[in-house]
Amino acid sequence: MEVAERFFAAIQAGDLDAVRASYHPDARIWHNFDQLDQTPEENLRVLAWMVRKVKDRRYEDVRRIETPTGFAQQHVLRGVAPNGEQLDCPAAVFCTIEDGLITRLEEYLDTAQTAVLSR
């Protein structure tokens, strides 16, 4: 579960190099809202946008369980949107880990909760 701690701490800190280091080069990242696989570099572009948009990012109400192939985590991503509104985005993430690196990440969230970032 060290990978999970390191990965989410890196996102929270806005350390995209550490996020990159958590991914296997051939990893695939999938989201329920578009159902497309992203490469790590494609995902890092999205995370860079999120880091710019969401201040005081933090993962709260974290519930994480180890699975035979990695981990599952439920959390609420909280922060402050550019317009000063609060972001509260519940999400669930399922990760496959091989040799200490994320090889697959599947994230489920309701994009209505992120609308505050576009206002």
Task: Give domain limits for the chain.
Answer: 2-118
pLDDT level of residue 1 (50, 70, 90 thresholds)? confident
For residue 83, give both structure tokens.
Answer: 């317009």
What confidence tens digit (pLDDT) does each residue in 30-42 have? 999 999 999 999 9
Position 119 pLDDT exceeds 80: no
Query: In the chain, what are the helix, strand and coil shares in percent, each to the nearest 5?
Result: 35, 50, 20
Burial of 53 from C-beta contacts in 10 A (0-12 / 13-18 / 19+): middle
**Whole-angstrom distance, CA of residue 11 vs CA of residue 47:** 8
Distances (CA, A) of 66 to 2, 49, 51, 59: 11, 29, 27, 18
For every residue of 71-86, DSSP letters joined together read EEEEEEEEEE-TTSPE
CATH topology of domain 2-118: Nuclear Transport Factor 2; Chain: A, (3.10.450)
pLDDT level of residue 12 (50, 70, 90 thresholds)? very high
For residue 15, give the DSSP letter. Answer: -
Burial of 118 from C-beta contacts in 10 A (0-12 / 13-18 / 19+): exposed
Report percent pLDDT > 90 for the chain: 91
Q: What is the pLDDT of residue 114?
A: 87
